[in-house]
Amino acid sequence: MLNGSGIKIFSGTSHPELAEIIARRIGLPLSKAEVTRSGIGETNVTIAESVREDDVYIINTGCGAVNTALMELCIMIHACKIASAKRITAVIPLFPYARQDKKDKSRAPITAKLVANMIQKSGCDHVITMDLHASQIQGFFDVPLYAEPSAILYIRTHFDLGDVVIVSPDAGGAKRATSIADRLGVDFALFHKERKKANEVSRMVLVGHVKDKVAILVDDMADTCGTLCLAASHLSEAGATKVFAFVTHGILSGNALKAVEESSLEKLIVTNTLPQHENQAACKKIEVIDIGKVLGEVIRRSHYGESVSKLFHEVPY
């Protein structure tokens, strides 16, 4: 818990509930800021208290009106910068445009890098974010975090490890899945998938054994959930007794909730990097894990100059 000396925590409008959880974790009230929109949609920010020589943390995530949330974050950073804040850290649980991380065709932008540049030019000194979509984006930031300890803790407390196999829904997530499997001491499997176009999988091939096992799919985000639901179906056909999925960012767009409800998934476990109340109300298979306490502890350690990486090896929460 912090004593409040020299630290201020502000919340944007994208996920105020998570900001409140983080503030409670470190024992401080949220600092006062007013965010309004003009008639033509411009964002107006007023920082309602002094931040001179303070260590400032601004919490906003990439959900809802993503472009509005991003612009709001940049303006709040800039406002604190010109008000003489000592250090400014952006806490962005879901980093916007993280999937646009590489030049995969002619004239394609690397938008994740553009967003990183925007935040930096606004006056941000550090960025705390959660489970970036691609490992190369880590080079843009100072404090990339992982939901892996939360997944490990959940699996250890809810499953018999002798029956569990960890499954990656694609080759790109193999490193994440093998790391979790190694720390749990369980088997690992993965799918090789081919896409005709974005968000549409044409073919999936299972590599590994899941017969008579509880299969747990792990991924960084679930958007349309087409891949997860198709993978769950293949796992059931391959003899898995039950299929669960653990995902850091539950975007759940379009018909995702209906797809999950009708799929062979027992549960889709997501964190609250995005608001999930409406999704839980619409789909009984959604379960939410709170990562607000983790982010609060990271802020505390960052403020006092303590090790952040040690936190994720100890799994103290």
Domain that holds residue 235: 150-194+201-289
How far is residue 240's CA from residue 208's CA, in Å, rounded to a whole number?
12
In Å, what is the CA distance from 185 to each residue of 118, 149, 150, 152, 245?
Answer: 42, 14, 16, 11, 18
Check whether 51 has a pLDDT greater than 90. Answer: yes
Q: Are residues 134 and 208 in the same domain?
A: no
The single-letter DSSP state of residue 271 is E
Residues 200-218, mean pLDDT to the nearest whole number: 88
> What predicted TM-score, i.e. pTM, was given to this entire model?
0.88
Q: Nearest-CA neighbor of 204 among 185, 230, 239, 175?
A: 230
Which value, in Å, is the radius of gyration of the alpha carbons in the chain?
A: 20
Tell me: pLDDT of 53 over 50.
Answer: yes
Q: What is the pLDDT of residue 112?
A: 86
pLDDT above 70 as % of the chain: 89
Task: Report the helix count and the strand count for the chain, using DSSP H and E.
Answer: 10, 14
How many domains, in total, are found in the chain? Answer: 2
**Residue scoring higher pLDDT (150 or 141):** 150
Q: Are 33 and 48 in contact (CB under 8 A)?
A: yes
| Count of residues in the chain | 317
If you ran DSSP here, which 8-state letter would residue 187 be given?
A: E
Q: Please, are residues 11 and 30 in contact by the beta-carbon 8 Å criterion?
A: yes
pLDDT tens per residue, range 251-304: 999 999 999 999 999 999 999 999 999 999 999 999 999 999 889 999 999 999
Triad 31, 114, 172: Cα angle to 5°: 100
Given this model, what pLDDT does residue 45 score?
Answer: 96
Q: Do both 92 and 154 map to the same domain?
A: no
Instruction: Provide the 3-class DSSP secondary structure of residue 77.
Output: helix
Angle between helical axes of 16-26 and 292-304 (0-180°, round to 10): 50
Is the pLDDT score of 33 beyond 60? yes
Rounded mean pLDDT, 70-82: 97
Using DSSP bridges, classify how beta strands 126-130 and 143-145 pair: parallel, antiparallel or unpaired. parallel
Residue 111: C-alpha distances to residues 100, 133, 195 (Å): 5, 13, 22
Q: What is the CATH number of the domain that holds 166?
A: 3.40.50.2020
What's the mean per-residue pLDDT of the chain?
89
pLDDT of residue 197: 60
* Residue type at position 130: M
Residue 98 pLDDT grade (very low, low, confident, very high; cuts 50, 70, 90): confident
Domain boundary among 130, 147, 164: 147
Residue-wise pLDDT for 155-187, tens only, equals 999 999 999 999 999 888 888 899 899 999 999
Determine, yes or no, domain membership for 312: no
Domain shared by 29 and 101, yes or no? yes
Do 38 and 114 lie in one domain? The reply is yes
